[in-house]
Structure 1
Amino acid sequence: MDINYTSERNTQILISLLKKHNIRNIIISPGSTNICFTASVQHDSYFNLYSSVDERSAAYMACGLAAETKEPVVINCTGATASRNYMPGLTEAFYRNLPVLAITSTQPRERVGQNIPQVLDRSSKPNDILKSSFYIETIFNEEKEWAAINLINHALIDLRKNGGGPVHIDLETTYSPDFSVKELPDVPMVEFYSNTENIPDIKQDKVAVFVGAHLKWEQKQIELLEKFCELYNGVVLCDHTSNYWGKYRVLPNLMSIQRTNRSACLKIDFLIHIGEMSGAYMQIEPNIVWRVSPDGRHKDTFKHLRVLVQSDEEAFFEEMIRRGKSVQLTTYYQEWKKECEVIEKQLPELPFSNAWIASQSSLMIPKGSAVHFGILNSLRTWNYFQLNEGVLGFCNTGGFGIDGCVSSMIGASLADKNKLYFGIVGDLAFFYDLNAIGNRDIGANIRLIVVNNGKGNEFRNYGNWCAPIGEYADEFICAARHFGNKSSNLLKHYAEDLGFDYFCASNKDEFKEVKDKFFSADKKDKPILLEVFTTTEDESRALELIINACGGVASSAKDMAKSVLGESGVHVLKRILGRD
């Protein structure tokens, strides 16, 4: 039999990345579950292979070899109790920060606990034997392949990162007998740099900087990023939680979600990713991504991570400026700015909705204020419209739940009684956090908009994969008709009894009557709550018009369902609804 590489794609990727990360030494223990890996590396002369029947001994051998060579060492074993015998040696490696990579081969995890021979539960590990652990599944689609590449890169970086230490990969196998693959896949390696000294130069002619959720910027940070953009022909892509107000800022959320007109700008050759989780769902397509963060954590948001730099932003941009080009260009920023402005001018009149309110009032929020958005609909919708320069935006995108958005705003408002704090939340998020507005420390600097459509309207909105289900979704998916079912008195009495000034609006004219009072920068004696009553149909239609501002709108719910779910998804929905 001619032995080459296994046909198992996850094992091919692991071997390819071991080579790219310059890891050669492997100590193998005998067994059947690890045959695909063992036979494949045995075929490849790149690796230095050693045999150890005793897994306990193999782990200690790896400690000795790693300490002597100062290089990572791989240990590999079969299923059953073989991996348990690695624990003493991995404990030694943990406390000595030795880069030992334990690759334990395994049958699919679904077999755990089913009386299937040689299948053990490795999902829990002692705290002091590993820095990190990763499960690499059998690959059957593009998403699983990306996950394997990403997780294996993460594992191999962790071997050396922050002083080094032992790492675990649990490698799933199907026991494929096919060893006919002659070449390994050329999968991308992620390079890790613990500081800015040895990072590569930026050679691209255009550079985009994506800023996720970010605390308020210091002036020096703004100046450094501005200078960087001038030296590297850069643009800074933001949402309202980025809180960046430098020269080269653009807000491309509206432009990026156009369904019928995909701007060429969205295909980005080179992207630097800073900040934390964004809830804008910006639809950009970067080719190469560098992630820069003080924690150095492996986060491949855009699925094209190639360089991970553990550094604060100031040090990174200072180093890049030091290496910068003499020619200063801002043409890339001008391209983005022009594209965004073109789309903004094509927005049609919207029906009364969260989006229409944002379009009418985003620039009424006074400078120097802060805005706290509810997740999903409110955050996404308001990101389509500009705020006044200097207005700070926040949202609970970390855990990304509906709970706590009002409480977060109230907590922030305690820091500065002379600053206005605005909140924009949906009814489910508000009532979930209802007790927050009863806090005795609430000041008159609170302005809260509650968009009440009587349900979790996100799931009925145009473009949501659940939208074709229609009214069927209201009962449980959207949790409709709770909290007074759009009562005109419930929240009014509650808010007024707690000392709020209460306003409400059910149409555009009523909103226009109260908006000046609500958004006024003048000091008030009381906090203000504005309840806005909208309908499912208007909310969904507004989003539909926004997404299709550059072209035609889906002609029917059926067309939209097909575009979101595909033909097979539509058939599934029909069966659910009893219409097939």
Structure 2
Amino acid sequence: MKDNEALTKYIGALVDELSALNIKNVVISPGSRSTPISMLVNEHPKLNSFIAVDERGAAFFALGIAKSTKQPTVLICTSGTAASNYLPAISEAKESRIPLIVLTADRPHELRDIGAPQAMNQIGLYGSFVKQFIELALPEASESMYQYARTSINRLYRSSMTAPRGPVHMNVPLREPLVPNFALEGIFTSGKRQETAHTVLTETVATISKPTIHKMTELFQSKRKGLLVCGPYVDEKAVQKILDLGIMLGYPVLCDPLSNGRTLMNEEAVTIDTYDTFLKFEEIVETIESEVIVRFGAMPVSKPFNQYVQKQTNCEIIVIDEGDLWRDPTLKATQMISCNDEEFCTAILNSCTQKMDSENQWLMKWQTINEKTKSGLQNAEQFEGLFEGKIVQLLAKHLPENSTLFVSNSMPIRDVDTFLHTQTKKIKIACNRGVNGIDGTIATALGMAAAGESVTLLIGDLSFYHDLNSLVLSKLHQLPIKIILVNNDGGGIFSFLPQSKEEKHFEALFGTPLELDFQHATGLFGGIHSKIANWFEFEDALSKNEERMHVIEVQTDRKENYDLHQKVWSIVKKEYEK
């Protein structure tokens, strides 16, 4: 199109500003109305574009990239129901605080609400799931409008990266003709005031006031029976500071697997990693009542920990949250402190006058319980049958240094919480734990692989089935990934819930056996499939470094898996009696 100057330079300015903000990755779901945005992204020399045909998978793929890079990934789609399919991933991004910039193309205003094809109401489509919504004006050929396009994307970027980070949405109405004029000069330079971004954005962190520092320091030094809790999504630098604070105060540090604190070893061993197991036992809980609990990050995966907090009647429960939100599902918090995690720990560490007594009986009690529990749990390694908990133990042993274990929700993340313990090997654990859904798991793991991580995915058969479409992303973008598919032919987690006692309705409503042969699906998308029969075959398959997708299927039995978990917990209880 030779005469499409307004469209070309307007969208060109918008696209170029993404690059000026140091955004690198764009995921495009093909469509007609989004043609100028997609083509100009593809044309831009500094933007890396990925094509993902299925919008639901595309959004989770973008989520995985952003989860890895900690920078916004841009999502682009056409008008209509295409945009609706982004919602599951956007809701996950909102709750797990992952920055996404969603650009939805739209019909111009005159084609809305009159029955035009592929048109629906996209104004505020994602509601409260996005931090900010902007409907961009229609393209106009003027420097002021090109500047407006740049400023608008700046506004969204700042919102997505300000605590709490999260997704933002821009709706872009466009008139035909939609093909940019690539013969024009300076298609990416319009609307610039300077060589850098249109507006320089400076990030800040929430700090803590001196009176609050003094108050907290006095509290911690007067309360000997304290806990620090390192929940999901805590920044790595903050995790180290939390461990340092635990050493200083003599407080055990309960590290959720998604905090990645279990691979940050500390010489004084304040990390507690088996609490999900021993907090199941009332006789243990009664001996470890806390006076103060300080939680960083989101609520841990562990349900027994949640129940433990509920039982603490004379306890200060403090939640540190820079995002100034109310993340307290226990409804027990006595103080909510809006502060950056690392800043809080640094302030208290600098304020404390002396280290706690090394003979701290409180800390030693937690350490003793933790070690006995760990000793009992390690007995699972002796099981010859294909036990799902042992899969986690073998993965921890065999995964290479600096690799990523992406874990699906339901049973896999709970087994990781139970059976993954502190170690010197650096392994990153990731999961979509914002809304805890099972959709989009494969796509998110592949997104992290696209960002350059060496990813192994641990997933159940229902989660695998939910996201089969996304296997094509491995083939299209040549992303090697190892997928450990735990196939217990249904929803294994429900065997641990009260519904399992209702035999009449259980299998149809909760067990939901699908009886699928996943070898065919793997082959369809160009992958290698291995169905293992014993632990030797499992370890052998793990050791192979394939250059493409490798699905390692472990077939387990739901009832037997439930019984083996009960057996492990029985062994743990005997450890306490020694």
Q: Compute the TM-score of the two structures, normalised by the length of structure 2.
A: 0.55
Name the counterpart of 1:514: 538
Provide the aligned length of Structure 1 versus Structure 2. 345
- 1:44 maps to which residue? none
Q: Secondary structure at the match of 2:337?
A: strand
Q: Tell me the secondary structure at the aligned position of residue 384 of structure 1.
A: helix
Determine which of 383, 387, 412 is the counterpart of 1:353.
Answer: 387
- Which of 1 and 2 has greater Rg? 1
Over 3 Å counting, the alpha-carbon distance change for 1:327 and 1:240 in structure 2 is closer
Deviations 1:114-161 (A, max 9, x none): xxxxxxxxxxxxx9xxxxxxxxxxxxxxxxxxxxxxxxxxxxxxxxxx
Secondary structure, aligned partner of 2:531: strand
Q: 1:458 — aligned with what?
A: 493
Q: Which residue number in structure 1 is paired with residue 346 of structure 2? A: 318
Q: Equivalent of 1:362, from 389, 396, 399?
A: 396
Structure 2 counterpart of 1:435: 469
CA distance in 2, matches of 1:360, 1:239: 19
The equivalences for 1:22-421 within 5 A come to 195-199=208-212, 200-201=215-216, 202=219, 203-218=222-237, 221-244=238-261, 245-247=264-266, 248-259=270-281, 261-263=283-285, 266-283=288-305, 284-285=308-309, 286=312, 287-329=315-357, 331=360, 332-347=362-377, 348-349=379-380, 350=383, 351-386=385-420, 388=423, 389-416=425-452, 419-421=453-455
Structure with bigger RCO (C-alpha 8 Å, 6+ apart): 2
Q: What corresponds to 2:53 in structure 1?
A: none
Kept in 1, the 8 Å contact 2:376–2:571? The answer is yes
TM-score computed with the length of structure 1 as normaliser: 0.55
Q: Give CA-to-partner distance per residue, 1:300-335, whole Å, 9 cap, x none.
A: 234421111100012111221122131344544443
Q: Which amino acid aligns with 1:376?
A: S
Question: Against the structure 1 CA distance between its residues 359 and 318, is the aligned structure 2 distance closer, same or farther, given a 3 Å change threshold?
Answer: closer
- CA-based RMSD of the aligned residues comes to 2.7
C-alpha contact (below 8 Å) 1:258/1:549 kept by paired residues = no
Answer whether contact 1:260 1:551 (CA < 8 A) is retained: no
Secondary structure at the counterpart of residue 208 of structure 1 = strand
Q: Secondary structure at the match of 2:257?
A: coil
Q: Is the contact between residue 484 and residue 551 of structure 2 (CA under 8 Å) also seen in structure 1? A: yes
Tell me, in whole angstroms, the C-alpha distance in 2 between the residues paired with 1:322 and 1:503: 54
Residues of 2 paired with 1:516 and 1:457: CA distance? 26
Matched, 1:499 2:529: no
Distance 2:246 2:417 in 1: 23
In structure 1, the gaps of 5 or more residues are 1-126, 128-161, 163-192, 553-580
Shift of 1:406: 1.6
Contact 1:212 1:277 in 2 (8 A): yes
5+ residue gaps, structure 2, are 1-126, 128-162, 164-205
| Higher helix proportion | 2
1:474 aligns to what SS in structure 2?
Answer: helix
Q: Which amino acid aligns with 1:210?
A: V
Amino acid at match of 2:429: G
SS at structure 2 position matched to 1:526: coil
Q: Is 2:422 the counterpart of 1:426?
A: no
Q: What amino acid sits opposite 1:422 in the alignment?
A: T
Contact 2:276 2:302 in 1 (8 A): no
Deviations 1:275-301 (A, max 9, x none): 124323243334221100111212323
Q: State the identity %.
A: 15
CA contact (8 A) 1:279 1:376 kept: no
Amino acid at match of 1:195: I
C-alpha deviation, 1:386, in angstroms: 2.6
